[in-house]
Amino acid sequence: MDFIDMIRRPTQPTRLFIQWVCGLAIVAALIVVFAKLAEDVWFREGFSWDAPIILAIHQFSNPALDTFMRFVTQTGETGAMAIAVILAGWFIWKHRQVEAFSILIAFGGAMVINAVLKLLFARPRPNLFPPLIVESGFGFPSGHVTASVAVFGFLAILLWKNKHYAWALFSGGWIFMVAISRIYLGVHYPSDTIAAIAFASLWLIVVIYVQTTYLRSIKQPSPDFI
């Protein structure tokens, strides 16, 4: 079997190899993105594209969109926490304690890491226009986006595994809606949200990998969502 045939009709080892290569490439890309952003924030170099993007998004501001974006942004904090608790309760009811523990670790661990990173980098929030909501504390990386990646990302993976592809894409796409809302409302730079997506995705990959490895070790099948 030549290389072209391996790609067209991959064997099990070939599929496993391709999956590992793709996985490692994604992890490497996420590490590079976060490291580059973190380096520039650490040395207070700033990003020439941050302010123009905020202003470009905010120019569409209007009362109806303001209300919608405030709703979206709440799903990234209160909403994400509620979904994490509901999912954990659902898994416990289905006698899936490993998955219940996983979603709580995904959310709780991501928020703890985020809090540490905020204190470490101590980056002020934007001050380009009066923000549409009041936020305190530092801005790098975004806590709302971090929570969204941990919870909506976890949910997207779960839905995808259970072949609910449309809902999986919607759940994953909602992460970017939360990121846009934070920029629109004037409480985060775009770089804050990108950094949150990068590091929280890395954390989620670790959680999912550990969960999957453990379930395989005890020969327990992947959970059915519904």
Mean pLDDT in residue range 99-115 = 95
3-state secondary structure of 166: helix
Q: What domain range includes position 141?
A: 50-217
- 16 falls within a domain: no
Please report the pLDDT score of residue 6 as a whole number. Answer: 47
Distance CA 180, CA 189 (A): 10
Name the DSSP class of 123: P
- Count of structural domains, the chain: 1
A 10 A CB-CB count for 39 gives 10
Q: Pick the range with the lowest mean pLDDT from 7-11, 69-73, 74-78, 144-148.
A: 7-11
Closest-CA residue to 178 (of 151, 203, 206): 151
- 33 falls within a domain: no
> In 3-state terms, the chain is what percent helix, strand and coil (to 5)?
75, 0, 25
pTM here is: 0.89
Please report the pLDDT score of residue 2 as a whole number. Answer: 47
- 143 falls within a domain: yes
- 147 falls within a domain: yes
pLDDT(31) > 90: yes
* DSSP track, 168-215: HHHHHHHHHHHHHHHHHTTSS-HHHHHHHHHHHHHHHHHHHHHHHHHH
- 22 falls within a domain: no
Mean pLDDT in residue range 12-34 = 85
Please report the pLDDT score of residue 165 as a whole number. Answer: 94
Please report the pLDDT score of residue 220 as a whole number. Answer: 64
Burial of residue 63, with CB atoms counted within 10 A of its CB: 0-12 exposed, 13-18 middle, 19 or more buried: exposed
Q: Give the angle 152-166-106 at the CA atoms, nearest 5°.
A: 15
Average pLDDT of the chain is 89
Mean pLDDT in residue range 117-130 = 93
- 42 falls within a domain: no
Please report the pLDDT score of residue 3 as a whole number. Answer: 45
pLDDT(54) > 50: yes
- 12 falls within a domain: no
- 134 falls within a domain: yes
Q: What percent of the chain has a predicted confidence (pLDDT) above 70?
A: 92
